[in-house]
Structure 1
Amino acid sequence: MTAPASAPWTLLAYGSEPDQVAEITVPPDAEGPLPLVLLLHGGVWREPYDRVHIRPLAAALAATGVVVANVEYRRVGGAGGWPATFVDVAMATDTLPDLIDQTGLARVDRSAIVLVGHSAGGHLALWSTLRHLTAPDAPGHRTTPLAVAGVVPLAGVVALTSFHGTSPDADTVARLMSGDPVAVPDRYLAADPTLLGAPECRVVLVHGSEDEAVPVQTARDYAAAHDGVALVELAGTGHFEVIDPGSTAWPAVKAAVREAMARPRP
């Protein structure tokens, strides 16, 4: 990363487990209700990869005048996997706006909440906006859509089942879901955005054309299948540039977040 590794933040618990926390960064001299970004890191859902590596992006987003919640969640290899990882993300995205208000850290503009996630975090961010489409007994199920303006998956795994079948990380997907798509099909139906559809909020996919970890074709297919889903494809960009505020991808990422906040879904 070519940006500072962190900005001043406050640790806020959204649950009782050690990983059920978020780092809240508030822009300096902030006044009035502020937009909120709920940021979900990647790392193929694995325990060794936590929120620390995405702090530069959190700091850069906060510098644009938004509150940022850099969300941690339980992961594969620790206490995570099915259903804990999904329970955590659901709990975080459901409760953090209220918790930020209640603790006095900032006042949140409820009309300008956006989920942003990278790679596996992009999968979880998009999934969280689709929970009203899951079965009533699925982890994190909602009876109503999540009240957010939009979601921005950065190099997101939008096709979980396909990722299992084609990625070198297929074993991690099976460990995340505690089974493969043949063994536990209902779980994939509840967790794969491609199988669930598109949310009611604005979706802006940002993906590099040279991404070797998560092929851009999955983003192209998802955008083509759903009206109102926008794809920003960055030529010559790989998997990690989209979370580096010092890269040439940063202006497009910043613009995508603003677009998701400002524009209703067509």
Structure 2
Amino acid sequence: MVRLIRFALVASAAIVSATTLHADAPRLLTWPDLTARARPHADATLNYGTDPYQRVDLWRPAGKGPFPVVLMVHGGCWTTSVADRTLMDWIAADLRRSGIAVWNIDYRGVDRPGGGYPGTFADAGAAADLLGAKAGQYGLDITRVVAVGHSAGGHLALWLVGRGRLPAASPLHVEHPLRIAHVVSLGGLPDLEATAAAKDNGCGTAVVGQLVGKATPSHPDVYADTSVPRLLPLGVPQDLVNGEDDTIIPMRLGTGYVAKARAAGDRVALHRVPATGHVELIAPETVAWAEAKRLIVAALKSPSPRT
């Protein structure tokens, strides 16, 4: 069950404030606008651990395949009590209707036993790598994988690509992580250091400390293997889709990351969508999702730069 109380309160307060200041401000979607509608259902659920949140939902189109795959990562401030993978059900169903399989992962948030560092990151990696192990069984084409993450999931989607650059001493290092050809971040928070300094972000700043943990003699720099800019260049194309009226994720968190990624040599584009907040990014009827889907489809038609 999706629980979005914190997000809803922050978004509602910000929308009221924006409406007071700007009488012509667009009417933005709220979380109940999304979650109160009829919910579609996945085709299968797979386990990669024993925790109830160590799960993956597979949305598989009808037919034999093999199908291109979107590796989907939900947001919710890295906090299980805020959101889980079911928040992405409606766009997952939309992609399935278009002949694209969706590997919608869950993970233990910072508020779950074993969450935070390294558990939240290790979960995301294990869920992604399970795709490689199960692709043949379900007719999935892992030479065509695009990672799509929303909000905090935008950070994890980009981080999953950067796993290949983790030092061997990191507990998050794996020898052969799943190869991802492209990333689409929807209102993401890729730069954890910038997020921790952004008091106006809808997740707050304390959660970043919960996510990365405290420095130790063996792990003195908590951002070295957790924050995406530290892993640049990622070596794959990246698209960031951000709403101009997003009161949860300040636009500068997108523009700041793009500047760092480009300086490192990555191919990155920021797509700013007018009259769009945070919820619109994962609502299938919106202009924002149409733009994100266009980018996903185009990426899946392109040959992977890492194959």
TM-score by length of 2: 0.78
Residue pair 1:204, 1:260 contacting (<8 A) in 2 also: no
1:123 counterpart SS class: helix
In the TM superposition, 1:183-194 aligns within 5 A as 186-194=221-229
Q: Does 1:126 align with 2:158?
A: yes
Residue pair 1:4, 1:56 contacting (<8 A) in 2 also: no
State the distance in 1 between where 2:210 and 2:190 align. Answer: 18
| Aligned residue number for residue 195 of structure 2 | 163
1:55 counterpart SS class: helix
State the distance in 2 between where 1:230 and 1:144 align. Answer: 27
Alpha-carbon RMSD across the aligned residues, in angstroms, is: 2.2
2:146 counterpart SS class: strand
Q: Does 1:256 align with 2:295?
A: yes
**CA gap 1:185/1:245 in 2 versus in 1, 3 angstroms:** farther
Kindly provide the amino acid, as one letter, of the partner of residue 115 in structure 1: A
In the TM superposition, 1:186-225 aligns within 5 A as 186-225=221-260
Aligned residue pairs, count: 260
Kindly provide the amino acid, as one letter, of the partner of residue 251 in structure 1: A
Aligned counterpart for 1:39 among listed residues 32, 49, 72: 72
Aligned counterpart for 2:90 among listed residues 56, 59, 77: 56
Q: Does 1:82 align with 2:117?
A: yes
| Aligned residue number for residue 22 of structure 1 | 56
State the distance in 1 between where 2:236 and 2:225 align. Answer: 19
| Aligned residue number for residue 207 of structure 2 | 172
| Aligned residue number for residue 101 of structure 1 | 136
Larger radius of gyration: 2
State the distance in 1 between where 2:171 and 2:75 align. Answer: 20
Q: Does 1:233 align with 2:266?
A: no
Deviation at 1:146, TM superposition (A): 4.0
Kindly provide the amino acid, as one letter, of the partner of residue 54 in structure 1: M
Q: Does 1:135 align with 2:174?
A: no
In the TM superposition, 1:135-154 aligns within 5 A as 135-143=167-175, 146-154=178-186
Deviation at 1:221, TM superposition (A): 2.6
Residue pair 2:61, 2:96 contacting (<8 A) in 1 also: yes
Identical aligned residues as a percent: 34
State the distance in 2 between where 1:253 and 1:4 align. Answer: 22
Kindly provide the amino acid, as one letter, of the partner of residue 167 in structure 2: A
Residue pair 1:43, 1:119 contacting (<8 A) in 2 also: yes
Of 189-198 and 2-11, the range deviating more from structure 2: 2-11
Residue pair 1:36, 1:113 contacting (<8 A) in 2 also: yes
Residue pair 1:74, 1:84 contacting (<8 A) in 2 also: yes
User: Can you give the 5+ residue segments of structure 2 that lack an aligned partner in the other structure?
Assistant: 1-33
Deviation at 1:143, TM superposition (A): 4.5
Deviation at 1:145, TM superposition (A): 6.4
Kindly provide the amino acid, as one letter, of the partner of residue 89 in structure 2: R
